Structures are given as structure tokens and as C-alpha cells.
Structure 1
């Protein structure tokens, strides 16, 4: 995940110090060629971007905002898993799951493509270019739960189907993935807001 704070010079150094204080991690300058700072798993680039291999907690973003650092309204999601974390069957399951629910996922996340980039080192989800900062954690968790679902099932044989009530169908799918309970209320709201229909009733006229 990447968030652009667009700070340079002394302001970038102050941003690094605040992240180090919040995380209780030491900031290490990386010198040439990146000129970045490394703070635990976080990186602050020379352009003032905060990068993380996974989700950047909303609490950290809020803390930085309180210190005077305002991020842009959109972020870029770079969602990648190590290739050795998934077996060939896991990948087959993941592809099948994405194929079966592809149209719902596209409509929910307003995507044009659900392509995966796979090599010997990593599996990358090239889905998101820029998304709203507030929505990014929900999209990150959706992909993580898709991966975990694929890994936890021996074989996935779902097939695509036309859905007359997208919102109800996707809500049921989210519950199957594990978006259950009040702790996922915000994520469900984000992931359902772009869909048509009723989340409460399968038949919209009910």
C-alpha cells in the first residue's frame, strides 16, 4: 500500500521521525540510489510517499494527520504475496474464485481488469491504480480474504452466474469470505456501495 504525503527536505525527515515514534522502530537512511528511509516494514521514499508491503493502519494515518501531515485523497495499492506462500492448487482455486465472482468484484470495486501477475517470486494483484484513502483498507482485506479462502479449500468449482440483485449476492459472498460481525461493518459498506439491489432481501420487491 502507498500513501502520498508529498513532503520533502525537513518536512520529510519530520514525517519519518513521527512514524518512528508511533511504531517504536528505528529509522534507517538507505542512501543512494533510493534515498529512502526504512522504519521497520515501512518505507518513506525520496518523494514523501509512505509505502508498506501490506495495509497501512488507519490509526497511523490519523496520528500523522494530527501531527500536521495530510495525505492525498487517493492511494495506490500494490498488493503482492510471495509465490512460495501459495501452492499450485491454491492458485488454481484463486483463479477459479476470481473467474466465478469476477463481474461482482469488478462492479463492487469499479475495476476494468482482474489480472494477476505471477512469476517465481511473487503473485501480484494488478487491480487498483488509485483508490480513495478511506476505501483502501477494505479493498486490501477483500484480496487477502480471497487468498485465504483459496488456500483453505481443497478445490473450488464455482461458476459464474447472472445476478439480478448484485448487492445481496455479494453480501452473501462477503460473509462466506469471513466479513462477519460488527468489526467488518465499515468494510461491507465500502464493498457494497457501488452495487445495485438490496443487501437485505434476495428479491428486491420484498
Structure 2
């Protein structure tokens, strides 16, 4: 169940952790590859700053990004800045978004995200939380998927399972994360077709669904 007030509190805590880590990375560390192919750690911090501003646009009823090309160009342009500048950009952009979210009065409003995707405004704090939590892992600076809270991992697994539900290119799936509720995803099974059962630790399933880990 979506609880934006709870998610805002969790987001504040996750952002504080991210800023602590960002403050430990010098110019050389930011120039090193992240765990996302083609991106340095500097790219990740640049993306996190611009994502905060993009979600601020969403809250204000403006287009999230001017275009996909502009989004990519802004990330690239900011990736090579000095470590102190990048960390400050992440801090200030996160603070701007936090202020805007704290002033929301209608969480049921429908907003438009990238590529025409719509969602309730109440989901925006969680969407930002996903960016902060997963990309801190992507930094490869000490935090792993196993360090994420069980509550976040279960919620993100459910979110990703729902995201792929009905997708024609995804086979019927029955996801069984150990110790957590089972989930279904993928396209509807054909008559007589059994869903593919995927089991594993919740963190491993999250890594698989989010494209961070290959199946064992």
C-alpha cells in the first residue's frame, strides 16, 4: 500500500546515506567506472541530481525532461565536474525536491513521467527512493543489495513484478522470494501453460528484476 508520508521519511534517510558516501569520493574515484555499463560514478551522481530536478518538474506539472536527448546531454555534461561540485549538486537538488514534496496537498493527483507513463503523485517519493537506493549500490562504494531494508526490497520487487505484468515479451512468472509473499508477473499464461517459477533470496530477485544480477 502506498504511503507517501512514510516514503518521504525513508527517502530522507536514504538521501542522507547517499550524501555521506558522495562526500567520501574524490575526483579520481568519480572518474572510475560504476556498476552500470558505460557510466562512471560521476555519471551516477550527475543523473541523481538531474533526476531530482526532473521529479520536481513532475510535482510542478511540467514535463519531466525536455527530451530524451536533453536528459542524456545534461547527465553527460555534469559527470566530469569536481567531486565537491557534484556532491553539492546532489545535495541541493535533493533538498529542492524534498521541499516540493513536503508541500503536496493532493497525493491522488495523476502526474506524467517519462515516455508518457502516468502515475499517482503519491508514488513519486517511492520512485525517487528507488533511484537513490539502487544507484547507491551501483556506485560500488560499499553498499550492496543485501544492505537494503526488507521493506524496501519487498516493495520494489512488487513494483517491478507489476511493471512487467502483461508484457508480451515476458513469459508468465511466479516469483517466490524466500520469506516474502509470492508474486506473479509477465504475460498471461496460454491454456495449459505453467508459469516459470523463480526462487531466491529477495535481494537476488531484486537484482534480477532490476537488471543488476544474472540468474544463478
Asked if these proteins are the same fold (TM beyond 0.5), I'd say no
With normalisation by structure 1, the TM-score equals: 0.29
With normalisation by structure 2, the TM-score equals: 0.28
More strand by share: 1
Which structure's CA Rg is the greater one? Answer: 1
More helix by share: 2
